[in-house]
A and B are shown apart, each in its own frame.
Chain A
Amino acid sequence: MKEFALIFRMNGDAAGAADITPAQMQERMTYWNNWMGSIAARDRLSSSGHRLGIRESKTVAPGNVVTDGPYTEVKEFINGFIIVKAQSVDEAVEMAKGCPILFGDGKVEVRPLVAPDDNK
């Protein structure tokens, strides 16, 4: 069994929190909870990872140039990740397909974790 990070990417232009009703937020939370629960129920959740905030984030560039926000040029930003166990990248992709971020215009990036003795 290998480990894969499922990285959640959001579009910077996506609708802000102000446009979402509390009922929709509740619904989103339920979707996420069920999706993570479904992976965990199969004993395939390796780490529930972290959500990454937008506020109070900075980018440090060469020459110690500090800018606000998680991105400067690209519109997409990463807003969190989890780590799953899967036999293959295809199986990890199947898990990613249920991710609620896809209901909006977010994307899930599936990346293998590199083990210390991996020399591919």
Chain B
Amino acid sequence: MDQEQLIPDLYRKEYGRMVTVLCSRFGIAYMDIAEDIVSDTFLSAAETWGLKGVPSNPVSWLYAVARNNALNSLKHDRVFQRQVKKDLTIEGERSFEMEIDLSPKNITDSQLQMMFAICHPSIPVEAQVSLALRVLCGFSIDEIAQALLTTKSNVNKRLFRAKEKLRLEEVKIAVPDSREIGVRLDTVLVCLYLLFNEGYYSASQDKVLRRDFCLEAMRLTYLLIGNASTSVPRVYALMALMCFQASRFDARVDDNGELVLYEDQDIRRWDEELIQRGNDFFIRAIREGEVSKYHLEAAIAWWHSHPAEEKEKWENILRLYNQRLILEYSPVAALNRAYAFYRVYGKAQAIVEAEALQLSGNLFYHSLLAELYTGVDNEQARRHFMQALELAGSAAERAVLEKKLDGLK
């Protein structure tokens, strides 16, 4: 392992796991304490390893120290005593000592339980995403702020409020029982879907970080697949969708970090293995005949990931977007439907459909209309390109728009 990257890598991989295990043991109200214990553990690793060299198994070193730190806190820290110990003494200190279980199985179970706690309907989905990124995936506040294009203090505020809410609601760290699981699982899926999209569509320049977001979303979805009570068809469908989308991750950004539009992508850069995995998950997803929005979006992504005759492809994509919207409205799906409408029926009819959406103030609404008006009414096209440019957040997005605006002249 690269020594320079050793601690950052371990932090990324283990921070979330350790916090999650400690927190599931202490209860949701003590998330901050669990985070402090793990942060202290990494700090002592940095100091100790710097002095004495890196131990042969750094992970078990971290787990052993975290376990000790947790027990020491329990014994010595006054605040901790007051807050946690009284809750735990019912079961006795010995059982506590024996139960900080950092085995792979308990890590997986705890993460699954924590996923349901974090994705609680009482907190807004944006806060759920930030909390998942921090606690389940171990991203730093800096990284989260960068990817979500916001400030560190905003992320901190969001996390603080969310934790406060979880504490007040006395949310249990557990997989809900069979009566509740359907509804609660939907909240979890929305969060994971958004987490993936934050990575996939983020305007952030940091390609590695964005890819990590996507991979983490896939890892967490995979945890749901591994559990009997959560491996339902729509979870497989979401997983298939993520695989199909991620297969184009390399193709959609060029070596200079510029966005490559779908039409211009080099098919050789699509990841065949991920497409195949997506196919496998999709077959599992459609076994029971359930049709969720994830099924429809996975089917759309399937058409985008497999070579097909243009007419057949876009007719199917339009049909699927229609179904997707009939099931549940989404502005993004509405805009994509208008684009598919253009590919099937041409620009004139698509302009009518697109303008009916009335989404002015939305970047993609204006860039779509600009695209549709190009060659039909260049003055209108220019107007929409200018509006899109005003709304574009990143240099990469502006570069694409400016190139097209130049092409108008």
Contacts and interface: CB of A to CB of B under 8 A. Distances in A.
A and B physically associate:
yes
Interface of A: 30, 33-34, 36-38, 40-43, 45, 48
B334 interface: yes
A15 B204 CA distance: 58
Contact count band on B: 10 to 19
Taking chain B's interface residues, is the majority helix, strand, or loop, or is none over half, making it mixed? helix
Contacts of A34: 318, 322, 341
Nearest to B315: A30
Interface in B318-337: 318-319, 321-323, 325-326, 329, 333-334, 337
Contact of A30 (B319, B321, B326, B333): B319
Contacts of A36: 322, 326
Contacts of A48: 326
A51 to B, nearest CB: 13
A42 B357 contact: yes
Given A36-B326, A41-B356, 9 more contacts: A30-B319, A33-B319, A33-B322, A34-B322, A37-B337, A40-B325, A40-B329, A41-B338, A41-B353
Given A33-B319, A37-B337, A45 B326 contact: yes
B379 to A, nearest CB: 26
Contacts of A33: 319, 322-323
B358 A41 contact: no
B285 to A, nearest CB: 22
B25 to A, nearest CB: 45
Contact of A41 (B315, B319, B357): B357
A2 B7 CA distance: 58
8 contacts: A33-B322, A34-B341, A36-B322, A37-B323, A37-B325, A40-B326, A42-B357, A43-B334
